[in-house]
Amino acid sequence: MDGRTRETIKAIAGPGNFLEDPEDLAVYTYDATPLPGKTPALVVLPTSSAMLAAIMKVASESAVPVIPRGAASGLAGGFVPAAGGALVVDMHHMNQIIEIDKANMTVTAQAGVVTQALQDAVNRAGLLYPPDPASMAISTIGGNIATNAGGPRGVKYGNTLQYVLGLEVVLADGRILKTGSKCIKQASGYNLTRLFVGSEGTLGIITQAILRLVPLPQAKQTLLVVFGKVAAAAQAVSDIIARGILPASIELMDRKLVNLLEQYIATGFPLDAEAILVIEADGDPDSLAKTIVAIERICADNAAVSVKAAQSDEEADRFWEARRMAFAICSRARPNCLVEDVTVPRASFPQIIEKIQQISEDNQVTTVLLAHAGDGNTHPMILTDVSDAEEMRRVNIVLEKIALEGLKLGGTLSGEHGIGTQKMLWMEQEHSPVGIDVMKAIKRALDPQGILNPGKLWGRAADADAAGGEEQA
Ligand SMILES: Cc1cc2nc3c(=O)[nH]c(=O)nc-3n(C[C@H](O)[C@H](O)[C@H](O)COP(=O)(O)OP(=O)(O)OC[C@H]3O[C@@H](n4cnc5c(N)ncnc54)[C@H](O)[C@@H]3O)c2cc1C
């Protein structure tokens, strides 16, 4: 970034809305993925879409790479700057919930609103915003939309995509695009709203969103189910779905994970269980009671050792709190924890779980099993040390084999974390050369200079620097 561009952008942002000291910039070189990133040249924290639009006009005139950032809680390196000399756009100063519209069951919020703050606000209004990433205490709505985040409730309620009705986006050249509306049905031309969901900052910077809400469930019940074998737990999940039962959440954890969790939070999970399922069902009290009985029966048919219903909201909260801590606690077990996100059609869940265990064992890599099991979304967590080259050679083999096994089963590389740089090597195998060509054509149409988050989604990280503001390879 040349001096004139830098000074012009700083002048537009104004005091308090930019960072340029080396110790501040260092914070903007990473996200929650243990991947090295380049130091940006400047960070701006816009306070309005108009301010961001003016900044983007200057950035595009000078072909400066621009990387949008929410809370940098991403697990695929989506934020991690791959291009040097970039402008980082941190959305935290755009953190207003503009309107909760109870009559239309929508909330309109700026992109920098923290997910939990939005959840709490709509709950107070008697409504529910279902997407519940375990990171919701820090992640932003903009980051959730840009990655199509999910969470345990995805089994019944789906990912963020299902809740985005409209967006405001600042495009690469500084124009402001408004898509969608509060209508819950929209069939008016290309669905531009959906195009930006999961676009990982490569097509535009999301500044505001209209999100769909649902009624708060009347009742819910959490079950803790213990199994003597991981395969039996995985089969029980598959059977629950195959019988047309749709709990809100079904989370699988293996013995290694339960033991790590219990060292830090005494939740009361049994230490000798090979696998546990934490299941939450919700709905009206009558149908909920029937659902619980049906789930208990299927678990018993799959040799469950025990089924325990949480006796109070506090006990259920303890189970879910432990589940949400899984990544943080695994990160303490070894220097690094890499989280995979391969997702398969639900009936193939038992097969992918078996493959993950086999591949890890064959390559002597420590993998802890966690999964949003009810929607086929696995989160094997690889405990490793990225500074150990020999171990990383084996870890990379495991990551690749898991990704490719998932694709063989008709799955996808990512159910909710996105591609970033972590999974871009296998994108062509998932989407075919034609699919990648179409994605690149869309990218060229919206960002002809390739300045938005270069080096992500496809190609090699090394291409980003070469791009330096030009189109991605
Ligand atoms: C402990 C932990 C638990 C997690 N659990 C889950 C989980 O259950 N489910 C899940 O889906 N994810 C989970 N994640 C991953 C992560 O929290 C999500 O991917 C989240 O959506 C990222 O939000 P963020 O605001 O931190 O975005 P960032 O990490 O800052 O950015 C993510 C991507 O979005 C882009 N981006 C950010 N804001 C914007 C914007 N306004 N406009 C355009 N592009 C933008 C960035 O450039 C980047 O490519 C977890 C992470 C951690 C650390």
Q: Which residues contact 314 (CB under 8 A, 6 or more apart)?
A: none
CA of 310 to the centre of ligand 1 (A): 31
CB 170 near ligand 1, within 6 Å: no
Task: State the distance from the centre of ligand 1 to the C-alpha of 419, rounded, in angstroms.
Answer: 11
Residue written as tokens 């009671």? Answer: 289
139 lines ligand 1 (CB under 6 A): yes
Range 298-313 average pLDDT: 95
CA distance 372 to 190: 31
Q: What confidence tens digit (pLDDT) does each residue in 366-399 have?
A: 999 999 999 999 999 999 999 999 999 999 999 9
Separation between Cα atoms, residue 293 and residue 30, nearest integer Å: 46
For the stretch 103-131, what's the b/e string if a residue is b when 16 or more beta carbons lie within 10 angstroms of its beta carbon?
A: ebbbbbbbbbbbbebbbebbeeeebbbbb
Give the pLDDT score at 460.
Answer: 57
Q: Which residues of 290-299 are buried (b: 16+ CB within 10 A; e: fewer)?
A: ebbebbbebb
- In whole angstroms, what is the distance from residue 429 CA to residue 290 CA? 43
In angstroms, rounded to a whole number, what is the distance separating the alpha carbons of residues 210 and 383?
38
Residue 144 Cβ inside 6 Å of ligand 1? The answer reads yes
- Cβ(134) – ligand 1 distance below 6 Å: yes
What pLDDT was estimated at residue 467? Answer: 43
Q: Which residues, other chains included, contact 71 with Cβ-Cβ below 8 Å and sequence gap of 6+?
A: 92, 114, 135, 138, 139, 140, 143
Q: How far apart are CA 380 and CA 155, in angstroms?
A: 18
If phi > 0 it is left, if psi is from -120 to 50 it is alpha, else beta; for residue 168 that is beta
Residues 6 or more apart from 78 whose CB is under 8 A from it?
31, 146, 147, 200, 201, 418, 419, 420, 421, 453, 456
Between the CA atoms of 27, 33, 36 and 40, what dihedral angle is there, to the nearest 10 degrees?
Answer: -40
Q: What is residue 459's predicted lDDT score, i.e. its pLDDT?
A: 66
Q: Residue 266: its pLDDT value, please? A: 83
* pLDDT digits 0-9 by tens, 61-78: 999 999 999 999 999 999
Q: Does 441 contact ligand 1 (Cβ within 6 A)? A: no
Residue 375 CB less than 6 A away from ligand 1: no
Name the residue at shortest CA distance from atom 18 of ligand 1.
74
Cβ of 324: how many Cβ atoms within 10 Å? 17
67 Cβ inside 6 Å of ligand 1 = yes
Alpha carbon of residue 257 to chain centroid:
20
147 CB near ligand 1 (under 6 Å):
yes
What 3-state DSSP class applies to 101? strand
Ligand 1 centroid to Cα of residue 299, in Å, is 34
| pLDDT per position as a tens digit, 35-52 | 889 999 999 999 999 999
Q: Structure pTM?
A: 0.95
61-64 LR contacts (CB < 8 Å, sep 24+)? 61/5, 62/1, 62/2, 62/5, 62/469, 63/449, 63/451, 63/468, 63/469, 63/470, 64/1, 64/5, 64/451, 64/469
User: How far is ligand 1, taken at its centre, from the CA of residue 236, in Å?
Assistant: 31
Largest CA distance in the chain: 70
The residue-averaged pLDDT of 437-447 equals 96
Best residue for ligand 1 mutational test, from 321, 417, 423 (most atoms within 8 Å of Cβ): 417
Q: What is the pLDDT of residue 268?
A: 83
Asked whether residue 461 carries a pLDDT value surpassing 70, the answer given is no
- Asked whether 13 and 46 are in contact (CB, 8 A), the reply is yes
pLDDT in tens, 317-375: 999 988 988 988 998 889 999 999 999 999 999 999 999 999 999 999 999 999 999 99
User: Could you tell me if the CB of 370 is within 6 A of ligand 1?
Assistant: no
Helix (H) or strand (E) holding 290: helix 285-301
